[in-house]
Homo-oligomer: A and B are copies of this chain.
Amino acid sequence: MKTIRSTIPRSNLAMRWLRLHLLATTVARETFLGTTCVVIDALRATTTIAQAVAAGAREVRVFEEVEPARRAALTLERAEYVLAGERGGKRIEGFDLGNSPAEFVPERVGGRTILFTTTNGTRALARCGLAGEVLVAAAVNLESAAAALAGATSVDLVCAGTDGEVSREDVLVAGGLVARLLADSGWEPTDEALLARDAWQAVVGTAVGALRQNLLARAMAESRGGRNLLALGLGEDIRWSAGVNSLAVVPKYDGATGVVTK
């Protein structure tokens, strides 16, 4: 019996490209043309968006600036919307909610439009406007985001960063996604993707459940963004944001409309 060999050289087999961008704002928009982007702003915008969607928000409209969000509110009935967002980590004056994910409970956001403005996360989403699809990910929906990439062949993990600097927490979460994806064969990761995976493994190792949450929260608390939150008395947000796989949603962002939906 003859062994049947594929005549396709290994390098020509369908590879799946897995790139990671440590800082969204340093990447040209054209980089994402037609790819599947996964935007991560782990402390806290993408965590909060995932929570809002999981809690039954109708949609999340994302604004880079405060005033357009306020103006959008004027076009809606009061019961239809929740005005939410932060500047400098703090709730914006006159807004209903800040950017603490735990505030986005079904009683507050269910069935409503969230008018949402944060700095880094919003800008990172906007930067992916040319992508074929833009998913919103954080530690809280890591597994769901990975599952949503099952059919993707060209993936860009996009870390939002903080005020133009790399954020450790975003890269760690992106690294968790890399670790999860590389469990399947066929991916071709960049060096940055491998580095992020390394960092995730150093922090979380093989821990699961509450231990994993504790380890990730501790690392997030050491980061610049984490220390900012601690200084603002928002340490509970870090714990919340480190809750790996607590939510089973993958919000999708539409670059044409700036709207995130389930």
Give the interface of A toward B (CB within 8 A).
22, 26, 165-168, 171-172, 190-192, 194-196, 198-203, 219, 222-225
13 new A-B pairs (CB below 8 Å) besides A172-B195, A198-B198?
Answer: A22-B192, A165-B190, A165-B191, A166-B190, A166-B195, A168-B194, A171-B191, A172-B198, A195-B195, A195-B196, A198-B203, A199-B199, A199-B202
Residues of B within 8 A of A26 (CB): 26
Chain B proximity of A162: nearest CB distance (Å): 8
In the assembled complex, the Cα of A79 lies from the Cα of B191 at a distance in Å of 41
In the assembled complex, the Cα of A223 lies from the Cα of B225 at a distance in Å of 29
Residues of B within 8 A of A225 (CB): 191
Residues of B within 8 A of A200 (CB): 198, 202
Take A191-B223, A194-B222, A223-B194 as given contacts and tell me if A166 and B22 are in contact as well, using a CB distance cutoff of 8 Å: yes
Residues of B within 8 A of A195 (CB): 166, 168, 171-172, 195-196, 199
Chain B proximity of A188: nearest CB distance (Å): 10
Residues of B within 8 A of A194 (CB): 168, 222-223
Residues of B within 8 A of A199 (CB): 195, 198-199, 202
* Chain B residue with Cβ nearest A193: B168
- B167 contacts A224, C-beta separation under 8 Å: no
In the assembled complex, the Cα of A219 lies from the Cα of B191 at a distance in Å of 10
* Chain B residue with Cβ nearest A197: B202
Take A22-B22, A22-B166 as given contacts and tell me if A198 and B202 are in contact as well, using a CB distance cutoff of 8 Å: yes
Residues of B within 8 A of A167 (CB): 191
In the assembled complex, the Cα of A222 lies from the Cα of B178 at a distance in Å of 15
Residues of B within 8 A of A22 (CB): 22, 166, 192
* Chain B residue with Cβ nearest A162: B191
Chain B proximity of A160: nearest CB distance (Å): 12
Please, could you name 21 A-B residue pairs with CB atoms under 8 Å apart, sorted by A? A22-B166, A22-B192, A165-B191, A166-B190, A166-B191, A168-B192, A168-B194, A168-B195, A171-B191, A171-B195, A172-B195, A172-B198, A190-B224, A191-B223, A191-B224, A194-B222, A194-B223, A195-B199, A198-B200, A201-B202, A202-B202
Chain B proximity of A174: nearest CB distance (Å): 11
